[in-house]
């Protein structure tokens, strides 16, 4: 379900892992598609498109998925979807006698509660508890998500952060021409936010912060669904930006500003840090785990005035030095080599195979 051309962090993780495992282990990515197809590394299983869902598809039945998984005969199944394919993976794992790992990418109770009302959260929590207790291992990308799952009574939870391509997202992508394209002087502080304009990103707070900052600062908003009515010191690119454009936007800006308060990981934060720019974020969710002292500034959530004041402080106190420290933190902790070596070691333990294990499945 989370695998489309415009998907965010989950697809980035799946593609990075597929590339990294190529030549190391056998690995098949099983994803929803229009029809059943099989290449060397990816298999699609038919699933219905979600109306107005920007390419997302929602599997409605388990049988085709179970059949595909059993035919692949993997040593381990990792599933990143909490819906139909999760139950299919558990069924296939039972038939094959192999471990099944659930990767908890989204804060499902909060996500659904924000859409249909907080009244739904206890029911969704009960669903999450009933599903994830069945997995042999549950992975969560941040400490805040680990603690939430443990609070639901799910004991077999471990921290497994995502990573970032520190070669692609690099200070070397910095292009001074970007500011000229935006009509800015070289010395004008340029902030950036890249991502979907979903409710939990709190884009209106960024716009209010820019109104407070005035014409001496500029914000570049990049991503589908961005608002059209914005202050004069905001430029909107309201479309999906590919990896090349995103890397250029990040490295050519002076700082990332992020008002979201419920990120389960916040991959764009690490991409910005890898690009050598500091981060202004909120002291909530996974963003606060990445932005340690010296790599950016954190403020209380829901406060546009505090975001604006943090921007002023950032550019008054050596933002370039913070950017260098941010880059170093990514290199030390969050490269895909570091992250995926750790994951592969854990899967070897889980399967009881000291030699390289065949990772045959990833359901998205």
Give the confidence band of 1 by pLDDT, cuts at 50, 70, 90.
Answer: very low
pLDDT tens by residue, 293-347: 999 999 999 999 999 999 999 999 889 999 999 999 999 999 999 999 999 999 9
Alpha carbons 267 and 250: distance in angstroms, whole number:
13
Which residue, chain included where needed, has tokens 């002291």? Answer: 283
pLDDT tens by residue, 126-143: 999 999 999 999 999 999
Give every CB contact of residue 353 below 8 A, 6+ residues apart in sequence: 75
CB 259 within 8 A of CB 205: yes
Helix 304-316 to helix 203-213 angle, to the nearest 10 degrees? 60
> Which is it for strands 361-363 and 77-79: parallel, antiparallel or unpaired?
parallel
Give every CB contact of residue 264 below 8 A, 6+ residues apart in sequence: 104, 105, 106, 107, 140, 141, 142, 144, 145, 285, 286
Alpha carbons 192 and 194: distance in angstroms, whole number:
7
Alpha carbons 88 and 206: distance in angstroms, whole number:
41
Alpha carbons 27 and 13: distance in angstroms, whole number:
14
pLDDT at 362: 53
pLDDT at 42: 82
Overall pTM > 0.85: yes
Domains delineated in the chain: 9-163+335-363 (3.40.50.2000), 171-333 (3.40.50.2000)
pLDDT tens by residue, 204-230: 999 999 999 999 999 999 999 999 999
Give the confidence band of 203 by pLDDT, cuts at 50, 70, 90.
Answer: very high
CA 166 to chain centroid, in Å, comes to: 15
Alpha carbons 103 and 251: distance in angstroms, whole number:
30
């Amino acid at each position: 379900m989370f695998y489309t051309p415009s998907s965010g962090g989950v697809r980035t993780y799946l593609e990075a892992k597929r590339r990294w495992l190529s030549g190391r282990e056998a690995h098949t990515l099983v994803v929803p598609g229009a029809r059943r197809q099989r290449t060397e590394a990816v298999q699609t299983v038919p699933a219905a498109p979600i109306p107005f869902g920007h390419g997302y598809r929602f599997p409605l039945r388990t049988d085709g998925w179970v059949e595909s998984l059993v035919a692949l005969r993997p040593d381990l199944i990792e599933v990143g979807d909490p819906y139909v394919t999760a139950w299919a993976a558990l069924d296939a794992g039972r038939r094959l006698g192999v471990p099944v790992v659930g990767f908890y990418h989204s804060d499902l109770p909060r996500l659904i509660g924000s859409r249909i009302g907080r009244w739904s959260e206890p029911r969704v929590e009960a669903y999450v508890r009933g599903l994830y207790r069945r997995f042999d291992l549950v992975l969560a990308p941040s400490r805040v998500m680990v603690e939430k799952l443990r609070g639901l009574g799910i004991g077999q939870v471990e921290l497994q952060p995502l990573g970032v391509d520190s070669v692609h997202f690099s200070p070397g992508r910095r292009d001074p021409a970007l500011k000229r394209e935006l009509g800015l002087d070289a010395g004008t502080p340029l902030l950036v936010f890249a991502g979907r304009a979903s409710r939990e990103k709190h884009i209106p707070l960024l716009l209010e912060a820019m109104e407070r900052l005035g014409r001496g600062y500029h914000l570049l908003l990049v991503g589908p669904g961005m608002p059209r009515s914005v202050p004069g010191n905001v430029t909107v690119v309201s479309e999906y930006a590919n990896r090349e454009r995103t890397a250029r936007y990040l490295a050519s800006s002076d700082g990332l500003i992020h008002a979201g308060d419920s990120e389960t990981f916040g991959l764009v934060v690490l991409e910005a840090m890898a690009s050598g720019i500091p981060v202004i974020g909120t002291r909530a969710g996974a963003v606060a785990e990445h932005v340690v002292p010296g790599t950016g500034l954190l403020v209380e959530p829901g406060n546009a005035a505090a975001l604006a004041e943090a921007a002023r402080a950032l550019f008054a106190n050596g933002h370039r030095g913070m950017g260098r420290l941010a880059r170093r933190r990514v290199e030390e902790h969050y490269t895909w080599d570091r992250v995926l070596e750790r994951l592969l070691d854990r899967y070897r333990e889980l399967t009881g195979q000291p030699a390289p294990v065949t990772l045959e499945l990833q359901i998205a």
